[in-house]
């Protein structure tokens, strides 16, 4: 297991954004947890230190917890390629999909539990009585049994789920369920994700995800900085001369140095060309390919807009074995497009060697975009949606998963009823591109929505209250 280093950040930073009342709640909740924990630790365990939504949230949340005097720490499990193939199958299953179509039988269960047994040995050497162990997602669920005798409070959080159950969802649950029985708490990102076998169980809690408004991903950037970052990496032409700088989490200066790997014919679009953008991991459920094909069918004629599909460099996300394959499929589909469409659509792999540099480029893309699309076929929460709304950029996203909790259609953005309907996608995109004033209003409402509901301060309060309650319950006489 690897430990990810977390520095401390002052939770007081939230006060000017969220107001005195929310700031006071955060202070009280932290104080209560601090006194309940004493010298105990809150361990977080997941399967990657960078890439994807969970890593994105853990970094700031744990930093604010540490800044609030709580010893929050982060461990990343180790597994081999077969382990991550199995957990990706589970992940796809929880989204109701078949993934690579492989089995989840006894052999897979044996391999999964063996890999986690090796990880558990290291975890057991660290965990102490009175600690909290928060295990994230299917990759870590199999650590629950090993925690039983430690005197720690073990909570399992699933960041994913399906709006409706089907055989594949049930198959994933049958795989994990026997391992989860001894958890003291379960956290889901939405109530729809609570499986039938946990309905009515008092151990279940619902806590929505959040973004960090001050991170390299979400901090304010001047328009000229945005332009120079995108010019530097090669997505937009004529970057200008501003220094493509940002502020790192530790307060030190950062700069965008690396370039993006870009597939495109012809020159980059100029800074004034409307740019439609989707930022995602290269995952079939994000449907980059569908967006590309829908854009080619319905936007290339009669609109000056360009499309950028941006994802991480495919070697950069350790727990996502399908990235290279999905990028390859997108590339093959791009080559099949008519020339006029290819000249307007770019596939972008963002550098991942410096995660804050990567975040700053995503920030610039989300600010520069005329529309941010998230055309997912399934989605746990969809942090990319919250990130774009926070920047007041108009969003068009599928009515799936947690996206529905973020956007009320026509109020904070537009929802696609059927994410596979290219004509609907085309109409909605045109509506936003042809009516900049209406799109601006949706963007502004989006920012208010995120401020009210989806910033880290609210998330920290809910975690602190939950942990305090669980520790109280643990020490109460039977
Ligand atoms: N992301 C990133 N760089 C990339 C692609 C994605 O930082 O090249 C981030 C994105 O900004 C978001 C997270 O990865 O913060 C993805 O979270 P989301 O909830 O949208 O989807 P997940 O990947 O967890 O399914």
Q: What is the CATH number of the domain that holds 97?
A: 3.40.50.2000
* Same-domain status, 424 and 460: no
* Same-domain status, 468 and 408: no
Pocket flag, ligand 1, residue 274 (CB < 6 Å): no
Mean pLDDT (whole number) for 441-468: 98
Output the pLDDT for position 242. 73
Going by pLDDT thresholds of 50, 70 and 90, the confidence category of residue 319 is low
Please report how many Cα atoms fall inside a 13 Å half-sphere around the Cα of residue 197, on the Cβ side.
10
The full DSSP string for 73-141 is EEEE----HHHHHHHHHHHHHHTT--TT----SHHHHHHHHHHHHHHHHHHHHH--TT-EEEEESHHHH
Pocket flag, ligand 1, residue 384 (CB < 6 Å): yes
pLDDT score of 105 more than 70: yes
* Same-domain status, 241 and 172: no
pLDDT tens-place string over residues 182-211? 999 999 999 999 999 999 999 999 999 999
Q: Is residue 216 part of a domain?
A: no
Q: Is residue 127 part of a domain?
A: yes
* Same-domain status, 139 and 250: no
Going by pLDDT thresholds of 50, 70 and 90, the confidence category of residue 51 is confident
Output the pLDDT for position 318. 63
Residue 425 CA to its chain's centroid (Å): 23
Pocket flag, ligand 1, residue 385 (CB < 6 Å): no
Output the pLDDT for position 155. 98
Q: Are 407 and 385 in contact (CB under 8 A)?
A: yes
pLDDT score of 337 more than 90: yes
Q: How far apart are CA 391 and CA 461, in angstroms?
A: 24
User: Strand, coil or helix: what is 246?
Assistant: strand
Task: Provide the number of structural domains found in the chain.
Answer: 2
Matching residue, tokens 């999909």:
97
pLDDT tens-place string over residues 366-387? 999 999 999 999 999 999 999 9
Closest ligand 1 atom, residue 52 Cα: 23
* Same-domain status, 193 and 322: no
Pocket flag, ligand 1, residue 313 (CB < 6 Å): no
Pocket flag, ligand 1, residue 391 (CB < 6 Å): no
Mean pLDDT (whole number) for 35-56: 93
Q: How far apart are CA 248 and CA 102, in angstroms?
A: 41
pTM over the 0.75 mark: yes
Question: Which residue minimizes the CA distance to atom 14 of ligand 1?
Answer: 52
Average pLDDT, the chain: 95
Q: Is residue 284 part of a domain?
A: yes
* Structure token pair of residue 318: 């350790």
Closest ligand 1 atom, residue 350 Cα: 8
* Same-domain status, 152 and 239: no
Pocket flag, ligand 1, residue 390 (CB < 6 Å): no
* Same-domain status, 178 and 324: no
Going by pLDDT thresholds of 50, 70 and 90, the confidence category of residue 474 is confident
* Same-domain status, 193 and 238: no
CA of 478 to the centre of ligand 1 (A): 43
* Same-domain status, 258 and 403: yes
pLDDT score of 70 more than 70: yes
Output the pLDDT for position 317. 60
Which helix (H) or strand (E) element contains residue 310? strand 306-312
Q: How far apart are CA 308 and CA 55, in angstroms?
A: 24
* Same-domain status, 36 and 184: yes
Q: How far apart are CA 129 and CA 409, in angstroms?
A: 47
Pocket flag, ligand 1, residue 348 (CB < 6 Å): no
pLDDT tens-place string over residues 251-283? 999 999 999 999 999 899 999 999 999 999 999
Q: Is residue 215 part of a domain?
A: no
CA of 231 to the centre of ligand 1 (A): 22
Q: Is residue 263 part of a domain?
A: yes
Pocket flag, ligand 1, residue 402 (CB < 6 Å): no
Mean pLDDT (whole number) for 162-181: 95
pLDDT score of 89 more than 90: yes
User: Strand, coil or helix: what is 185?
Assistant: strand
Q: How far apart are CA 473 and CA 264, in angstroms?
A: 58
CA of 364 to the centre of ligand 1 (A): 14
pLDDT tens-place string over residues 274-312? 999 999 999 999 999 999 999 999 998 889 999 999 999
CA of 358 to the centre of ligand 1 (A): 11
Pocket flag, ligand 1, residue 358 (CB < 6 Å): yes
Question: Dihedral, CA atoms, 257, 321, 400, 76, nearest 10 degrees?
Answer: -70
pLDDT tens-place string over residues 407-435? 999 999 999 999 999 999 999 999 999 99
Matching residue, tokens 């929050």:
72
Pocket flag, ligand 1, residue 387 (CB < 6 Å): yes
pLDDT score of 437 more than 70: yes
Closest ligand 1 atom, residue 312 Cα: 8
How many percent of the chain have pLDDT more than 90?
Answer: 91
Going by pLDDT thresholds of 50, 70 and 90, the confidence category of residue 475 is confident
* Structure token pair of residue 73: 């720490």
* Same-domain status, 194 and 317: no
Output the pLDDT for position 316. 60
How many percent of the chain have pLDDT more than 70?
Answer: 99
* Structure token pair of residue 307: 């499309």
Q: What is the extent of the structural domain holding 66?
A: 2-210+455-475
Q: Is residue 324 part of a domain?
A: yes
Q: Are 265 and 343 in contact (CB under 8 A)?
A: yes
Output the pLDDT for position 424. 97
pLDDT score of 315 more than 90: no
CA of 295 to the centre of ligand 1 (A): 22
CA of 234 to the centre of ligand 1 (A): 20
* Same-domain status, 192 and 266: no
Output the pLDDT for position 314. 84
Pocket flag, ligand 1, residue 381 (CB < 6 Å): yes
């Amino acid at each position: 297991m690897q430990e990810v280093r977390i520095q401390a950040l002052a939770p007081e930073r939230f006060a000017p954004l969220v107001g005195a009342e929310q700031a006071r709640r955060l202070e009280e909740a932290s104080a209560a947890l601090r006194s309940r924990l004493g010298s105990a630790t809150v361990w977080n365990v997941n399967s990657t230190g960078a890439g994807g939504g969970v890593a994105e949230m853990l970094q700031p949340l744990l930093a604010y917890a540490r800044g609030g005097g709580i010893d929050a720490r982060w461990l990343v499990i180790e597994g081999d390629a077969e382990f991550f193939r199995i957990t990706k199958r589970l992940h796809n299953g929880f989204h109701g999909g078949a993934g690579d179509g492989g089995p989840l039988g006894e052999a897979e269960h044996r391999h999964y539990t063996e890999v986690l047994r090796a990880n558990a040995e290291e975890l057991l050497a660290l965990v102490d009585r009175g600690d909290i162990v928060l295990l994230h997602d299917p990759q870590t669920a199999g650590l629950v049994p090993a925690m039983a005798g430690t005197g720690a409070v073990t909570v399992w959080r699933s960041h994913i789920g399906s709006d409706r159950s089907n055989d594949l969802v049930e198959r994933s649950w049958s795989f994990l369920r026997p391992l989860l029985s001894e958890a003291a708490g379960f956290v889901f990102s939405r109530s729809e994700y609570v499986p039938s076998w946990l309905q009515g169980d008092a151990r279940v809690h619902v806590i929505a995800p959040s973004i960090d408004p001050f991170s390299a991903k979400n901090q304010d950037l001047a328009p000229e900085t945005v332009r120079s970052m995108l010019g530097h990496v090669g997505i937009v032409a004529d970057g200008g001369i501003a220094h493509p700088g940002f502020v790192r989490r530790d307060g030190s200066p950062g700069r965008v140095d690396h370039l993006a790997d870009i597939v495109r014919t012809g020159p980059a679009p100029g800074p004034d060309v409307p740019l439609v953008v989707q930022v995602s991991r290269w995952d079939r459920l994000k449907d980059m390919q569908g967006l590309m094909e829908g854009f080619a069918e319905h936007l290339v004629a009669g609109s000056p807009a360009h499309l950028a599909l941006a994802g991480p460099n495919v070697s950069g996300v350790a727990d996502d074995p399908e990235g290279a394959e999905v990028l390859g499929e997108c590339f093959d589909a791009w080559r099949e497009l008519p020339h006029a469409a290819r000249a307007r659509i770019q596939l972008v792999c963002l550098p991942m060697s410096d995660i804050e540099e990567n975040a700053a480029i995503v920030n610039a893309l989300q600010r520069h975009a005329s529309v941010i699309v998230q055309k997912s076929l399934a989605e746990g929460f969809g942090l990319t949606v919250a990130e774009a709304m926070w920047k007041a950029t108009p969003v068009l996203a599928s009515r799936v998963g947690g996206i529905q909790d973020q956007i009320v259609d026509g109020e904070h953005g537009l929802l696609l009823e059927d994410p596979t309907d290219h004509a609907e996608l085309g109409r909605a995109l045109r509506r936003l591109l042809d009516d900049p004033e209406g799109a601006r209003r949706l963007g502004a409402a989006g920012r208010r929505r995120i401020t009210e509901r989806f910033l880290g301060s609210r998330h920290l309060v809910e975690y602190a209250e939950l942990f305090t309650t669980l520790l109280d319950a643990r020490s109460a006489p039977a």
